Structure 1
Amino acid sequence: MIIVRIEELSWPEFDRIKDKVVAVILPVGSVEAHGRHLPLGTDVFAPLKIAELVEQKVRERGKEVLVMPPIWYGHSFALNAYPGTINVRPESLRMYVGDVLAELAAEGFKKIVLLNGHGGNVYPLTEAAEDVAELYPDVEVYLINWWLDFREDILSVCSGQGHAGEDETSVMLAIRPELVNMREARGRRVKRKIRVIKKDIGKEVFPDGLNDDPSSATAEKGERILQIVSESIARIILGEEG
């Protein structure tokens, strides 16, 4: 399978193929703590792999999508309590992603999929998409939060969900097992009735940088999640489901 990467194309090559694609996918994530067992880039590794699978599934149906280089940094206020987390202010993320979306719209893409891998990005990405929708009324931006929008399907595979939990750990075991340290894969679910915002709140809400028990994660579960989510997104792009 040959995967087209925009960053590897010349501008004439890009110009020739852009009118042939039915959608463009922009993966967005974060660099942040994911327990002691997962890499800081988990929230990018997952949506990027899902995007690649979507591209494959769409191509098998005779259509084309284009996967853009990912946006690595996101809004991660709570997890900024842990070393290695790079927190971007929500207004900075909104403006940056909005500029990228506007450029994609100006290139003529009518369907843009924001494939998000990080919870803290949801509100800035929503606002960025709304900004672009105002400027380009004929453009549709699909904001897909893979772990959230397909929660019921994921819970048919895993017993629970949470930051760096069973679902995310399973996905990482399927795509980058060499980066997962299952000897450190332990944690618990922390629940709060209301959201409390204060400095270093992540130490309370995400003890050791996670919020779930990842010990039951397996690569097999991860493969099933990846296939379920990517197939659903492919069907949405192609208009095969609402």
Structure 2
Amino acid sequence: MHFKACRSYSLDKLTNFGDILESYLWRELSWKEFEEICGGGECFSVIPCGSIEQHGYHLPLGTDLHIAVSLAKKAVEEAWKAGYKVLLLEPIPIGVSDMWSGNPGTLWIPLEVFIAYVKEYVLSVFRNNIKRVIVINSHGGNADPLKVALKSATSSLDPSYRAYLINYWEFVGDVIDSMFSNRFFHADEVETSIASSLGLGVKIPGKEIPYEHIKRPYSDEWHSLSLSKRPRVYFFYREGARLEVGAFNEPGRYSVEGGEAVVRAFIDRFLALLRDIRENRL
């Protein structure tokens, strides 16, 4: 993933959002620039979190990472335009992906190591007087471990230090459900639409993309795939023991336009979230 380098600007313009729009990358700031921008404790920070794992025959292994970073970058850019000070941090590229460990190319981190790493990462951000950390996650296997990590990171701090987790498919789940006939799953019509709208090339022509029927026993009664319906039961078992195509729910029906609509909804909702956080509603 490549970002445009931070352009030079004078310190007397650090409060002019238009002049420093490209300064949102944490790593590109000098310590003095960082102090000028965030010394007052008003900054938000965003950490993208993805994975390197199989996504069928038609999407690259880094699909989740690409989605997380791209959504975060677009959201942060729009936030600066709207008058929010938001810094984009380095992504967490490898997550809890052992469920796809049977597929070549998949990388994964042990659950306990992942939780500990994320906790220390967030605490390091807090130590820089950044009191609001937002994690944008694009991989289902990271979702529950991230909750544990963020809960642990904030549990012994002053309540003014807050961490927020956005799983993008939940954040705009109602939009996804209303736009696509297939329910959201892995490397499917929905994820392929979003990935392609964010500039990720699809490796196989749509009509030729193979896919598998869902093997997990989902049901609308107990654990629906509808993103607008909360599960009644969570169940766990050992995964990753066998090779599969790894794509589900007709990815060949993907739509760039549909993906763009989901991304737009994500950005709009992200700005609404920042507003409510700043106004102490959340």
TM-score of the pair, normalised by structure 2: 0.78
1:56 to 1:200, Cα distance in 2 relative to 1, 3 A: closer
Q: 1:35-184, aligned counterparts within 5 Å?
A: 35-137=56-158, 138-160=160-182, 161-178=184-201, 180-183=203-206, 184=208
Percent identity over paired residues: 26
Provide the rounded CA distance (Å) in 1 between the counterparts of 2:156 and 2:270. 25
Cα RMSD for the two superposed structures: 2.1
Q: What are the superposed Cα offsets for residues 146-170 of structure 1, whole Å, 9 maximum, x if unpaired?
A: 0123211112222221101111101
Q: 2:206 aligned with 1:192, yes or no?
A: no
1:181 to 1:3, Cα distance in 2 relative to 1, 3 A: farther
1:220 aligns to what SS in structure 2? helix
Provide the rounded CA distance (Å) in 2 between the counterparts of 1:199 and 1:151. 25
Equivalent pair of 2:212/2:246 in contact (CA under 8 Å): no
Provide the rounded CA distance (Å) in 1 between the counterparts of 2:146 and 2:201. 31
Equivalent pair of 1:166/1:215 in contact (CA under 8 Å): yes
Instruction: State the AA in 1 paired with 2:217.
Output: R
Bigger shift: residues 5-14 or 112-121 = 5-14
Residue 14 of structure 1, CA deviation: 2.0
State the match for 1:239 in structure 2: 276
Provide the rounded CA distance (Å) in 1 between the counterparts of 2:169 and 2:190. 8
Provide the rounded CA distance (Å) in 2 between the counterparts of 1:126 and 1:50. 20
Equivalent pair of 1:28/1:114 in contact (CA under 8 Å): yes
Instruction: State the AA in 2 paired with 1:236.
Output: L
Provide the rounded CA distance (Å) in 1 between the counterparts of 2:272 and 2:203. 31
Provide the rounded CA distance (Å) in 2 between the counterparts of 1:128 and 1:116. 13
Could you list the runs of 4 or more consecutive aligned residues of structure 1 that deviate by over 4 angstroms after TM superposition? 193-196
Instruction: State the AA in 2 paired with 1:78.
Output: M
- The answer for unaligned runs of 5 or more in structure 1 is none
Equivalent pair of 2:101/2:241 in contact (CA under 8 Å): no
Matched length = 239
Equivalent pair of 1:162/1:189 in contact (CA under 8 Å): no
Residue 226 of structure 1, CA deviation: 0.6
1:164 aligns to what SS in structure 2? coil
- Structure whose residues are more often helix by fraction: 1
Equivalent pair of 1:173/1:222 in contact (CA under 8 Å): yes
1:87 to 1:95, Cα distance in 2 relative to 1, 3 A: same
Provide the rounded CA distance (Å) in 1 between the counterparts of 2:204 and 2:90. 27
1:202 to 1:171, Cα distance in 2 relative to 1, 3 A: farther
Instruction: State the AA in 2 paired with 1:6.
Output: W
Provide the rounded CA distance (Å) in 1 between the counterparts of 2:236 and 2:118. 27
TM-score of the pair, normalised by structure 1: 0.90
Q: What are the superposed Cα offsets for residues 94-125 of structure 1, whole Å, 9 maximum, x if unpaired?
A: 01010110011111111110111111111211
Larger RCO (CA within 8 A; separation ≥ 6): 1
Equivalent pair of 1:116/1:145 in contact (CA under 8 Å): yes
Instruction: State the AA in 2 paired with 1:142.
Output: Y
Provide the rounded CA distance (Å) in 1 between the counterparts of 2:87 and 2:199. 23
Equivalent pair of 1:27/1:70 in contact (CA under 8 Å): yes
Select the structure of larger CA radius of gyration: 2
Q: What are the superposed Cα offsets for residues 26-84 of structure 1, whole Å, 9 maximum, x if unpaired?
A: 00111000011111111111121111221122222222211111010000111111001
Residue 176 of structure 1, CA deviation: 2.2
State the match for 2:18 in structure 1: none
Provide the rounded CA distance (Å) in 1 between the counterparts of 2:164 and 2:263. 19
1:2 aligns to what SS in structure 2? helix
Equivalent pair of 1:30/1:72 in contact (CA under 8 Å): yes
Q: 2:48 aligned with 1:11, yes or no?
A: no
- The answer for unaligned runs of 5 or more in structure 2 is 1-20, 219-233
